[in-house]
């Protein structure tokens, strides 16, 4: 569905974290499919998907099954967040104030910002390596800067341009990866392509978790890209277009990484394996992936900047951030990440994956609380004006029920977690499989529902039941 604003929407986005009024709503629900499909055909998910056979030693069949199960499960949570965007008309992270309070939400906003800065930095490293692989004369540091600048321009222009690029990317990258699969499968260079590795429960569970966490990692900013849609779009339409686009695109990339690694000699770097396995079309594939990582990385920069603006606006509540503010903060983040990426170690991406696993331990309970609050407690009806008040309006500075459920949700994950900082006893018993995210969801969701149901009943009595989307 589109509105008259669709044709007149400015290319450069004027909004930041503020409410998007009806007259500025534009776009079509199907744009969410192309955004999340095209955005997931990229080097980082390819590298991550290869871990199932490289690190966890699964064979091709069980690797594919684990990848599909993880994405199909994790994608449900991610798409449920996306469906919040048209109803709320505000970014995902600032919406958290309605659950945690204006100050109580600061921790999760900060964590989300740090995670997406990490995603951005890692992707510009991949962009630099991809550009060097295409043009040997371009050093990796120079490629990093070029990749960062490309993503920066897209991120600064904003929402509409991001959607436009991914509509194009869906066709180009979709065709490209299908052709890549065809070439690899008809030019397998290893005798153990189907037999290398085997089923092992811990490796299978670990691969499922990697795929599920890949989807959950989008949760803190997925509705940022649906918030401009008209408020009357169907929740089911928003859910399914997001779900199908994200799970299909990411599953293809994960499986592509596993196939490329198995089709080449043991021990090769994943992107080197992709280049070798795709033979004559290898340079073209690298060019496509380079363009993809630059385009997709704009989402990470955009999400990080909105998180940082949310942090600042919490204390400067009279400040109305503009497109200029978003551009200035984008440039600061971009330059900082370039310096960090150029001076980083060779195993920068490996360290980044470790960091994401740690951060997701504290983001999983947030996901559970946010979804339960939106769908089961408030049923999508919030007082938007309170969300932008320093004292939190009817939501207050802190919501003890949410903070208690959040703390318990983190604590129950500890025995099941496997991160560089700590390996829990349950995880150690099952050879390192990390099931903390699943336990966190299963405990936090009913706990918060019980606590928040009582608390929300009190709030409704105090405010006359006027919990509505209004300014």
What tens digit of pLDDT does each residue of 336-373 get?
A: 888 888 876 566 666 666 666 677 788 899 999 999 99
Q: CATH 1.10.3720.10: does it fit domain 13-345?
A: no
Instruction: Of 109-118, 119-128, 159-168, 209-218, give the range with the top mean pLDDT.
Output: 209-218
Contacts of 279 (CB under 8 A, 6+ apart): 183, 187
pLDDT tens profile 46-60: 989 999 999 889 999
Eight-state DSSP code of residue 71 = H
Helix (H, G, I), strand (E, B) or coil at 334: helix
Break the chain into its structural domains and give their ranges.
13-345
> Which pLDDT belongs to residue 184?
92
> Which pLDDT belongs to residue 182?
94
For residue 192, report the phi and psi dihedrals to the nearest 5 degrees.
Answer: -105, 30
In sequence order, what DSSP letters do the residues of 352-405 get, joined into one string? HHHHHHHHHHHHHHHHHHHHIIIIIISTT--BHHHHTSTT-GGG-S--HHHHHH
Nearest to 149 by CA among 131, 172, 175, 176: 131
pLDDT tens profile 157-187: 877 888 888 888 888 888 999 999 999 999 8
> Which pLDDT belongs to residue 432?
74
> Which pLDDT belongs to residue 293?
83
pLDDT of 313 strictly over 80: yes
Nearest to 178 by CA among 275, 253, 245: 253
Q: Do 227 and 90 contact (CB within 8 A), yes or no? A: yes
Task: Describe the chain by its helix, strand, coil percentages, rounded to 5.
Answer: 70, 0, 25
Q: Do 406 and 181 contact (CB within 8 A), yes or no? A: no
For the whole model, what pTM was predicted? 0.88
> Which pLDDT belongs to residue 345?
54
> Which pLDDT belongs to residue 250?
96
> Which pLDDT belongs to residue 248?
96
Looking at residues 89-118, what average pLDDT do you find?
Answer: 89
Q: Do 40 and 250 contact (CB within 8 A), yes or no? A: yes
pLDDT tens profile 29-39: 999 999 999 88
Q: Do 1 and 230 contact (CB within 8 A), yes or no? A: yes
Helix (H, G, I), strand (E, B) or coil at 419: coil
Contacts of 301 (CB under 8 A, 6+ apart): 116, 120, 151, 152, 155, 330, 333, 334
> Which pLDDT belongs to residue 332?
92
């Amino acid at each position: 569905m589109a509105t008259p604003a669709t044709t007149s929407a400015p290319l450069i986005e004027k909004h930041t974290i503020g409410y998007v009024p009806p007259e500025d709503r534009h776009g079509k629900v199907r744009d969410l499919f192309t955004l999340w499909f095209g955005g997931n055909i990229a080097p980082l998910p390819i590298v991550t998907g290869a871990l199932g056979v490289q690190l966890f030693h699964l064979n091709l069949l069980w690797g594919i099954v684990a990848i599909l199960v993880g994405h199909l499960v994790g994608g449900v949570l991610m798409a449920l967040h996306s469906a919040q965007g048209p109803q709320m008309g505000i970014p995902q992270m600032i919406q958290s104030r309605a659950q945690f309070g204006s100050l109580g939400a600061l921790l999760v906003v900060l964590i989300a910002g740090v995670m997406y800065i990490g995603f951005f930095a890692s992707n510009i490293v991949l962009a630099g390596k991809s550009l060097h692989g295409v043009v040997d004369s371009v050093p990796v540091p120079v490629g990093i800067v070029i990749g960062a600048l490309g993503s920066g321009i897209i991120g600064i222009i904003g929402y509409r341009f991001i959607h436009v690029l991914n509509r194009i990317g869906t066709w180009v990258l979709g065709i490209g990866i299908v052709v890549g699969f065809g070439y690899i499968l008809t030019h397998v260079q290893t005798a153990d392509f189907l037999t290398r590795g085997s089923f092992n429960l811990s490796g299978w569970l670990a691969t499922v978790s990697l795929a599920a966490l890949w989807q959950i990692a989008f949760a803190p900013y997925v509705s940022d890209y649906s918030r401009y849609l008209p408020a009357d779009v169907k929740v089911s339409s928003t859910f399914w277009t997001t779900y199908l686009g994200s799970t299909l695109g990411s599953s293809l990339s994960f499986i592509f990484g596993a196939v490329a690694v198995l089709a080449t000699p043991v021990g090769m770097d994943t992107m080197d394996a992709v280049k070798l396995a795709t033979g004559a079309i290898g340079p073209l594939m690298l060019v496509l992936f380079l363009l993809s990582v630059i385009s997709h990385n704009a989402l990470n920069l955009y999400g990080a900047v909105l998180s940082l603006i949310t942090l600042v606006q919490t204390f400067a509540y009279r400040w109305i951030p503009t497109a200029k503010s978003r551009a200035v903060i984008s440039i600061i983040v971009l330059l900082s990440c370039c310096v960090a990426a150029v001076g980083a170690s060779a195993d920068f991406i490996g360290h980044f994956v470790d960091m994401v696993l740690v951060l997701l331990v504290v983001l999983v309970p947030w996901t559970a609380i946010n979804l339960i609050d939106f769908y089961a407690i408030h049923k999508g009806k919030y007082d938007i004006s309170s969300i932008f008040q320093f004292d939190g309006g009817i939501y207050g500075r802190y919501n003890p029920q949410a903070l208690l459920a959040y703390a318990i949700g983190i604590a129950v994950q500890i025995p099941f977690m496997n991160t560089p900082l700590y390996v829990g006893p349950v995880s150690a018993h099952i050879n390192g499989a990390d099931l903390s995210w699943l336990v966190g969801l299963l405990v936090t969701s009913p706990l918060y529902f019980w606590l928040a149901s009582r608390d929300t009943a009190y709030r409704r009595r105090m405010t006359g039941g006027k919990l509505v989307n209004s300014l």
